[in-house]
Each structure stands twice: as C-alpha cells, then as structure tokens.
Structure 1
C-alpha cells in the first residue's frame, strides 16, 4: 500500500500543477462566465427547468441541478471551482491511469497530454464545464474497464460523471459497451442497465417534453472546422476543430504549433507500434469519435437528413464534442512512446530528454491554455442591480413566468469584460424564466426548439404584446436596459407597471391568464429518473469513501507495526 501511494504521489502532484497552470485566475473571488458557462450566486432549487420539467430541451440536465445542489451546500464560488479544477484533476489522473504499468515519466506525460490538448482548451473556452468534467470521468471509466478487475463503485461513479450532459452520457455508454463487449452478455446487460439509470434525468425529461424539431441547418454550422495548416483532419486528430472559431487558440494552425503537434503524433505512433497490446477497443472508440466528428464536415447532406428523420440525432451536430472518445488512444500512445524513448535514452545517459519532452511538448504545442485559457476565463462579480432586481422578483406575488428582454440568447455585458455569455437572467431569478434559444452562427440563425420561446416570439411581434404575453402566462418582464437592443425592446412593453430595479427593470404584466402547472405523472417520472441518478451517485461515493478509509487504516496499521520494537 505504501509503495502504491509513493508511486501515485508524483502523478497527483503534477496533476495539481497542471490544474493550477490552467486555472490560477480562478483562485480570485467571483464567478467565471463565458458562453455556455453560466453560474449564479444563488440557485433556485424549486425551478422546474432545473430538473428537466421546463419547456426547453434538457441540455443542462443534470449538470445545472448538480451545480445548484452543490452551490446550496458550499456556495456558488466554491462549487464552480470544484467543478473546474475537478475536471482538470480528473483528466490528468485519468490519463495517467490509462498507462498503469508504465514508468513514472510515462504516466506524467500521459497526464500532461490528457489535460493539455485542444479539446480541453476549446470546451473550457466555450464554457462547457460539464463536458470537461465528463471528459475526465470518461478517461477514468476507460482506465477502470481496461483493468483486470474493474471495481463496481469506480465504474458507477465514472458513468455518473459522464452523464452530466446528454452528449457526454452517450459517449459514456459507447465506452461501456465497447470495452465490455467481450466480457459476456451478463456484464454487458448489467452495464446497459447502469448507463440507462445514470442518464435517466435527461432522457426521461426528453421523452416527456414537447420540443420543436431540431434545425437541420445546424449540421453545417456546428460541423468540425479546419484550423490553419492542420486542416480539418489534422484538427480532429489533435482533438480540436470546434465550430466556434472565436474560442480557438490563436497559435493553432501556425507552422511552429503544427510542428509541435506532429511531434506529439510521432511519439504517440511510436508508443502504439512499439508496445502492442489490447488496444483494439481503444481503436474502436477513437474511430467512432473521429467518424462522428467528421460527419458534419464530410457528409453534411446525409447528416441533415438524419436529423430531419430522427430528432435525437441532433446530439451529433456538434461532432467535435465526440473527439473525447479518441483521447484515450492518443494519451496511451503518447505515454507509451515516452516510455519507449526513455528506455533507449537511458542506454546513452540521456534519460532527461524524453522526460522533458513528455512534460513540455503538449504545453509548448498549446501555450494558450495557461492562465484561464489565455485570460478568457476571468472571475467577475454580478452588479448590485442584479440582486436588486432579484429581490423585486422574489417579493412579487404576480402569478406566471418571467420573460427577459431583449429577447436574445447571448449577452456581452461590460461588467463581464464584454465577453459573450448565455444570458445569466435565464438562471438568476427565482421563478421559471423564458429566454430565446435561437443561436446566431456566422450570420445564420439556428432555429430554437423550445415551443414556449417560439410562442413568445410570436407574441412580441403581435399588435398588443402585453396582452399576448399575459395569454401565455407571462407575469413579469425583466428589461436589461444596458443591452444594445434595449430601446427596441422597451417599445414592446409600453404601458406595463414598473415594480422596481435600475439597470434591470422589473415590469408587471396585468391580468395573467395562465399559471402553468406541470402534470403529476411527468413529475413522478422525472423524479424516478433522478432517484436512479442519485442512487448510483451514492453507491459510487460510498464505495470510494470505503476504499479511502481502508487505505488509511492499512497505512496506520503498517506505521504502528514499523514503530513497534
């Protein structure tokens, strides 16, 4: 046990170093807001959309609910730091666990590449913190299932970690099915039940919802994008290629960076060729991830027809997300390649060279990941006007939901450094909130899927918007007067009674006709899904705590034995 602890210590310490190199700005007070990363100081646990009972697709289920529950226990700032640093630490330690029999230098190299790659950088920059956490859990899941005797509680906890979003939940299912395909029908059946239960919160909510058909036009807009000299395929093979070019590191695709990326590939190929083993399942995972990632680029027409015929296939539109499935093979190859190089270098007294290469090559290939992804992820504090508006909303006894104007999905407020972020008002206020779910990508609007948001758009364009909003059950309107489109939005709510607020003005819609209620059967079914998720989470955490307790008792027994005469 002591030997194992000593063997793990360098990996743990290096993982902490990597996480701090990326996230040292997060040690400051405030919340990080960027694109899809929306955290609020106080979450309202009674909001139905938090649990998948809203009218929109449950894209943030169960991640938002997990964030809300943890925030209610330790505060939002601490909870967000646990999520961000936790994702990086899981990725680093999971990468090292993929090469358990390799040298310490090789495991450190695998940990480095597992964190320091475009996938992590781009998903962090676009604010997809649940995807980064799920990516780390996916590496742990892969490593555990490849071990001789997988521990059920570790597999369970890792599967729950991958289930934080619908897309990552699908990836977790793929990993389980591929890696257990040869272990008999019994284990495969058990694994299928495990994956189904872990992902129950979002798939149950999806089945019960009445969302609009997804927009096939999103296939091309969200497709894998080439990055400079790397092109499309090079970007994918290096775990990059996100659709939003604004979050891509400026050095990606430049000649020096491409040379360093090629260096990573060379080391990985050497490791995969020289140390043959049971890499077939990892190859299947990598091929699956690459095919999905490249489908929207290579065959957009076929993908569009698939999305039209099968709505859930819209999960595949942002195909670059599925490159997480290719990460284990690349990480294993890189770690083993450093091991091979180390064996040759030692014969010539040059052991330090492959060690330095393993630790620094991935970092040099992507320098923009350091310091909060090149300063993109800086903590900020919500202005006092937001708390003022929240107090007004909480005190109001007007029935109905809340509408945020201007009706647009993203904001770029000055208090957030003018960085784009999904409108925080959608989560900030203590009552169900309707926000626009359409996306503007390269000048093209991707149609939303929330029927309630579509109804609001029609109401706002009617001859009498206040009356139409009342008929839809909208009781309050929050007008962001600092937004560029505020003047236009103000004309839509002329005559509404002002309840309070300064920068965010709270308005009352008179004579609300509808007070929406979720049907009891839907609440029961969604509750059952959450019960499955919670049960598995408790099983995983309980088993982990038990293992830690055993390890501590064993270490204490050994220490006392060493001290006895």
Structure 2
C-alpha cells in the first residue's frame, strides 16, 4: 500500500477503532458529556444568561442552534468521530515536513494518548474539539510567522473551534500567539479575543467573575500515573484529577516502559530537529505554548497555595483549577518531537525491511501501549436511549401553564441511572427540558465538598432545607419540580412532594407544580 494513501486513511482508522460501538443508536452519556434530543434554543442559560457559571458558553448555544436541523444523537456521533478524524488529518498536515513514516508516528501519538482517552471518558467534548483544531491553528500561524500570505479562514475557523468553552478558548489563543511570535501576533490576538467574547462577557457578568472555591485546588490537582509520579504523568499527557476515568493500562508496567521509550525518542527528536533550520523554527514556535501548558498543569500539585490564591481572588482564576486541561498545549510539540525522533532513527537503519519494521512499530506502539482507548474506551462508552418517560415529562412541561423555572431533585449534580447502565453522568435534566433548570453545582471529590458558584442554586438548596420548602421554591422563581425517582435520596422527598401538585407521574420520573 502507498504510505501516503495510508496517511490519509489512518485518521479514519483510528476514529473507527475508538468510535465504532458509539455509532449505534442512542446517546453516549458519560460524566460531563450530556447530549439530549433537542437543547432548547430559547433557554437563557444556553446563552450564558442564567445564574450558573457559564462553563458551557458558547458550546451549548452552538449545540442548540445545530439541534434545529440535526437531532442530538446524530450531532454527538458527528462530533466524536470528527474529533479523531480532524485531529489526525491536522497532525498529518502539521508534520508534513517529516518523512511519511515519521509523520504517521507523530500523528498516532497526537491522537492516541492519555489526554485524549481521559478527556473522552470524562466527557469534555468541547475541549476535544479544540484539541482537534490545534494542528490546524499551528499550520496557519506558522505561515503568519513566516510572513507568508494566508487566507483569513485558514486560521480564524480553527481558532473559533477552540473558543467553545473558556478553558479551550485560552488554550487556542495561547497556542496561536506562541506560533505566530510576538512580532506578528497583533491581528491574531485581536481576533482571538473577539471569538472568545461570548464566555468572557458572560463570565464577567456573573457574580463570581470566574472565581472558584480554593478547596477545589487539591481535589483537581494533577495525579501521578504510570508509576512515574506527577511530572511523569504530565510529560506523558496524563494525570487527570478523576482517577476513575484513567485507562486501566496506565497502571501496568508496560505504560512505564512505553513512557521511557517515548521520552528517549523525543530527546533524540529534539537534537535532530534542532540541527535543521525549518524544523528548529517549528520547535521554537511550539515550545512557549508547551511551557505554559506544563506550568499550569503542575501548579496545583507543586505550588497549591499560589493556585488557591489565584483561584479564589483573581477574576477568571477558576479557569486554572483543572490545570491538567492545559496539557493540550504540550501535545503539538510532543508530536513534532516523536516524528523527528522516529525519522532520525529510520535514517540510521540502512536495510529497507528493517526500516519499515521500525516505522511500523513506532506507528502502532501508542495503540499497543494503551489498547483500552479502542472500542469505546474498552466498552465504557456505549450508547443508551432515554426512557420514554423523559419525553412524556418534557411534553407535560411544555404544555403546563405554570410559570417559573425547573429544579431537578434529588438536589445533586451527578446521577448514575440504571438505564445508563449505572454509569455516572451529569444530571441530564439540566439540559433535557425546555425551561431553564436549576441544578446543584456543588461537587464532592474524594469525599471533599467543593462549593459551587451558582448563587441561585445555593438559594434553592437553602429553600429545600427550610421548614417550608414549597414556599421557598416559589420565592426563588421555581414553578416546576422534576424528580428522578430512581436516584439516591428520592425516597427522602416525600414530605416536600405532599405540598406539590402532580403534573406527570411515571415509574422513574415525575413532575410536580409548586403551588402559589
């Protein structure tokens, strides 16, 4: 097979290896990844105008607009497959100055690594969309750096794809500035700020102004993986705070050996690339962004006091709480180093068959070292269907003439419903219904409670704990209560529900109206 033709097909192969089981009918619901049949475009919180911190701005708005023509189940599948295909194709373009075999090896590492695996399982799909756009940002901004003419859409569109959430928007702007260089970054900086205005404006209009509970710093600190400590986890693009989403293969000795081999190849690649002016330019363009990403990722683990002050004091400081997200900025440089290192090794092998064997091993080694990213993260990501009761409840809510918003009970952020095979997911009620829905944004990580930033959710929680919760809910503008009867804690709501008026009652889901 022509290796160049293989290069065009390889991103599709990796996409199908991961996403094949997710293409079945239904929705993949995992932690923060919640797609619904139709996200209502008229909901204020979709546009960042609700009381909650606008972490999903403008990604929710983009989904809501696309849902006008594309159903949620299809949109999710297009996004998940597209992430792998676009990331792989972009990496191939970014690495085109290397030989085809080395190009494929660097592309494999860029697509098939712990960062992608962990963020996929935890459901950070907008962050993965930004990750897929990053090589295209690099390709376009390299031309800007060199003073070459470049059509505006070649760098504006991928930069816009990074601006779906606050953290990913910061990642996109930092990468673009790093690659363009300070002498030519003015236009890119201006456009980057404009593209990120939706979440910037919404965030500064929020009472918390992007600040977070400092107690979250320790809970969200980068974790050790592969037996190589926190720094080793970061340098291998892992270390997510939620150890439940880490691939099981990362605990094996093979992961440790693979990381050591990986770093040796990268070291060789750094030396080899530095000796060639064009490749040295690429290193110099990507190194500042990688340094920023690695520094932010390690703040919570090595200087937590500083990060606690930043998170709790500075506007927008909460963006740095989950510092491991910013390891995305390290990935382009590592892909270049892998390609350069593999290319340098291949040049030293004179026998043709041995050279091809070396390249084949280099291309497949990331997949073999972490096989549990394949097949929907080893079966962890399987589509499910919402029970019919959810659609019936949505209809009942749409037809109800009761004024006010919705609160979802039991009042906790996450669920593990039986119809989702017991997998943990952010409460789908927050997005499923046509009205703004108040959900609890407090988190419990490793037994430690981390306060949320939604003042209205806090007030609703206080109303629920008062002597007259129904009256308190009405005072907070709540008109309807959705109760997920199969969730832990639902049995404790009997006294409250006696004061409410039934609107819809199913086996696992019920809707009540709060009387005036």
Pair 1:415 & 2:400 matched:
no
**Equivalent pair of 2:30/2:121 in contact (CA under 8 Å):** yes
Written as runs of structure 1 = structure 2, the 5 A alignment for 1:20-169 is 20-147=16-143, 148=146, 149=148, 150-169=150-169
Number of the residue aligned with 2:252: 254
Separation (CA, whole Å) in 1 of partners of 2:82 and 2:240: 23
Q: Deviations over 1:205-236 (max 9, x none)?
A: 11222238510000110010011412111110
Query: What SS is found at the alignment partner of 1:484?
Result: coil
Number of the residue aligned with 2:227: 229
Query: What SS is found at the alignment partner of 1:74?
Result: coil
Pair 1:334 & 2:338 matched:
yes
The offset of 1:144, in angstroms, is: 2.2
**Equivalent pair of 1:401/1:473 in contact (CA under 8 Å):** yes
Pair 1:179 & 2:183 matched:
no
Most deviating of 481-490 and 313-322 = 481-490
Query: What SS is found at the alignment partner of 2:511?
Result: strand
**Equivalent pair of 1:345/1:353 in contact (CA under 8 Å):** no
Separation (CA, whole Å) in 1 of partners of 2:151 and 2:270: 26
Separation (CA, whole Å) in 2 of partners of 1:308 and 1:484: 32
Number of the residue aligned with 2:201: 204
Most deviating of 318-327 and 259-268 = 259-268
**Equivalent pair of 1:109/1:338 in contact (CA under 8 Å):** yes
2:504 alignment partner, one of 493, 500, 505: 500
Call closer, same or farther: CA 1:312–1:465 in 2, change over 3 Å: same
The offset of 1:390, in angstroms, is: 0.7
Count how many residue pairs are aligned between Structure 1 and Structure 2. 503
Separation (CA, whole Å) in 2 of partners of 1:489 and 1:94: 51
1:372 alignment partner, one of 363, 366, 376: 376
Separation (CA, whole Å) in 1 of partners of 2:234 and 2:90: 21
Separation (CA, whole Å) in 2 of partners of 1:71 and 1:8: 37
Separation (CA, whole Å) in 2 of partners of 1:125 and 1:171: 20
Number of the residue aligned with 1:245: 243
Q: Which TM-score applies when normalising by structure 2?
A: 0.95
Number of the residue aligned with 1:353: 357
Q: Which TM-score applies when normalising by structure 1?
A: 0.87
**Equivalent pair of 2:180/2:285 in contact (CA under 8 Å):** no
The offset of 1:308, in angstroms, is: 2.1
Number of the residue aligned with 1:436: 440
The offset of 1:7, in angstroms, is: 8.3
Separation (CA, whole Å) in 1 of partners of 2:125 and 2:292: 23
Unpaired runs of at least 5, structure 1: 1-5, 512-565
Number of the residue aligned with 1:463: 467
The offset of 1:471, in angstroms, is: 0.8
Query: What SS is found at the alignment partner of 1:72?
Result: coil
Query: What SS is found at the alignment partner of 2:480?
Result: strand
Separation (CA, whole Å) in 2 of partners of 1:50 and 1:130: 15
Q: Deviations over 1:11-59 (max 9, x none)?
A: 2211000110011111211010000000001221110111111111110
The offset of 1:375, in angstroms, is: 1.2
Most deviating of 14-23 and 188-197 = 188-197
Separation (CA, whole Å) in 2 of partners of 1:7 and 1:354: 14
Q: Deviations over 1:489-545 (max 9, x none)?
A: 33333221101130211101112xxxxxxxxxxxxxxxxxxxxxxxxxxxxxxxxxx
Separation (CA, whole Å) in 1 of partners of 2:231 and 2:442: 29
Number of the residue aligned with 2:188: 191
Call closer, same or farther: CA 1:300–1:104 in 2, change over 3 Å: same
Number of the residue aligned with 1:315: 319
Query: What SS is found at the alignment partner of 2:185?
Result: helix
The offset of 1:101, in angstroms, is: 1.4
**Equivalent pair of 1:216/1:305 in contact (CA under 8 Å):** yes
2:12 alignment partner, one of 3, 16, 24: 16
Pair 1:399 & 2:396 matched:
no
Query: What SS is found at the alignment partner of 1:403?
Result: strand
Separation (CA, whole Å) in 1 of partners of 2:308 and 2:114: 27
Separation (CA, whole Å) in 2 of partners of 1:346 and 1:28: 47
**Equivalent pair of 1:214/1:311 in contact (CA under 8 Å):** no
Unpaired runs of at least 5, structure 2: 275-279
2:266 alignment partner, one of 260, 265, 268: 268
The offset of 1:8, in angstroms, is: 5.9
The offset of 1:72, in angstroms, is: 2.3
Separation (CA, whole Å) in 2 of partners of 1:73 and 1:8: 36
Number of the residue aligned with 1:290: 294
Most deviating of 299-308 and 447-456 = 299-308
Query: What SS is found at the alignment partner of 1:163?
Result: helix
